């Protein structure tokens, strides 16, 4: 059976209204705008309101993506939410999104692959469509990182923010100029302790001690992650280009995970790409983990950066370690 072609038929994004600037952070921890800007590129981040959660933000981005695709709720056959900050252990955030958006025919599942979650979720959606299982799949990355960072730890709290992005992936005709072409996905669990949220699972259930010790907050060995990220994102991008007989100059836009502007700029230089080929919006949102790529893509579309047939790459790395790259024709 020939795989069925898929294209992104709609995009959507959501960012909470409240903004926390670097100057605001100066009043909270021993840091300063100059350090944060020069080391990370971040100027501000958005912070969820008390009544907002990963699923409410995911639903908002998802609703816009469905509208943007010109579809109705009943057209969506599967919802996949990528998140490391779900509303709760279960039910899955995708179930909550299904209920908020009233999607009568949608299956629901969450993906846990930290910052690579969106690329993994996108690959699953492409697989469902290629097999002929579904025609329209809603793929969302959504995070409320602000509830999982220790606001007393300047090493991590300055880096993260809240937000959501979504795409609808739809089956298209074989002669469409748009298609999902290829994926490389990987993981290395030996790096698990470099980026983790230690408590709250079956290994370390919540106790007074785990709370007292701050074990429900994200922990990170920043320097090790930085080097790993630059190397891996470069290598997998080169690999996916090579095996599809493409060179870097043929790529219209890379929409990378946004963990640090310096990471993305180092990757860009190693790939020999121009600044216009690498999308960055970390200055506005910080690292929104699984949401960075669909949020970035929605902004790239708003800015009219893409036309049908352009080669686009999504590339990410994250906790696990996990990594992933996807090559599409827009
Ligand atoms: N403000 C001021 N000073 C700070 C701050 C801060 N917010 N944070 C750290 N410092 C200090 C450190 O204490 C250190 O001081 P010292 O030299 O006196 O010891 C100094 O700044 C330099 O610290 P480094 O860690 O060496 O700084 P570096 O340039 O490596 O930048 C950073 C740190 C931004 C964390 C960088 O390593 C990075 O971006 N790493 C990757 C992070 C990442 O990608 N995380 C992925 C998360 S994805 C996911 O799956 C959740």
Q: What is the pLDDT of residue 237?
A: 98
Q: Quick one: DSSP state of residue 133?
A: S
What is the rounded CA–CA span in Å between residue 42 and residue 213? 28
User: What is the pLDDT at residue 269?
Assistant: 98
Q: 39 C-alpha to center of ligand 1: Å?
A: 7
Domains identified in the chain and CATH numbers: 5-172 (3.40.47.10), 179-329 (3.40.47.10)
Q: Where are the beta strands (DSSP E) in the chain?
A: 5-14, 18-21, 44-47, 78-82, 107-111, 136-144, 162-172, 179-187, 195-196, 219-220, 251-256, 311-318, 322-329
Q: Is 155 in the pocket of ligand 1 (CB under 6 A)?
A: yes
Q: What is the mean pLDDT of each run of 10 residues along the chain (330 residues)?
A: 92 98 98 98 98 98 98 98 98 98 98 98 98 98 98 97 98 96 97 94 97 96 91 98 98 98 98 98 98 98 98 97 98
State the catalytic residue, choosing from 115, 134, 157, 281: 115
Q: Residue 245, class by beta-carbon neighbours within 10 Å (0-12 exposed, 13-18 middle, 19+ buried)?
A: exposed
287 is catalytic: yes
pLDDT score, position 101: 98
pLDDT at 198: 96
Distance 155 CA to ligand 1 centre (A): 5
């Amino acid at each position: 059976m020939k795989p069925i072609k898929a294209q992104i038929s709609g995009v959507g994004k959501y960012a909470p209204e409240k903004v926390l600037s670097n100057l605001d952070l100066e009043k909270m921890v021993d840091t300063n705008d100059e350090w944060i800007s020069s080391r990370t590129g971040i100027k501000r981040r958005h912070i969820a309101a008390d009544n907002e959660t990963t699923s409410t933000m995911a639903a908002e981005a998802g609703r816009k993506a469905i509208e943007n695709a010109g579809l109705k709720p009943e057209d969506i056959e599967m919802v996949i939410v990528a998140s490391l900050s779900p509303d709760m252990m279960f039910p899955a955030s995708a179930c909550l999104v299904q209920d908020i958006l009233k999607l009568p025919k949608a299956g629901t599942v969450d993906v846990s692959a930290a910052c690579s979650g969106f690329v993994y979720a996108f690959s699953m959606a492409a697989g469902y469509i290629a097999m002929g299982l579904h025609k329209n799949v809603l793929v969302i990355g959504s995070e409320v990182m602000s509830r999982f960072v220790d606001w007393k730890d300047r090493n991590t709290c300055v880096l993260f923010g809240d937000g959501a992005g979504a795409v609808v992936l739809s089956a298209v005709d074989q002669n469409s100029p748009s298609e999902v072409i290829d994926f490389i996905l990987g993981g290395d669990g030996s790096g698990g302790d470099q980026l983790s949220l230690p408590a709250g699972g079956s290994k370390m259930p919540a106790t007074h001690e785990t709370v007292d010790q701050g074990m429900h907050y994200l922990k990170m060995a920043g320097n090790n992650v930085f080097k790993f990220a630059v190397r891996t994102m470069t290598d997998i991008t080169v690999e996916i280009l090579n095996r599809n007989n493409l060179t870097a100059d043929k790529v219209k836009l890379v929409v990378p995970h946004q963990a640090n502007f310096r990471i993305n700029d180092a990757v860009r230089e190693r790939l020999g790409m121009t600044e216009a080929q690498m999308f960055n919006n970390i200055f506005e949102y910080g690292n929104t983990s699984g949401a960075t790529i669909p949020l970035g893509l929605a902004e790239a579309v708003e800015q009219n950066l893409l036309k049908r047939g352009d080669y686009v790459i999504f590339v990410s790395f994250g906790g696990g370690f996990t990594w992933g790259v996807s090559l599409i024709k827009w």
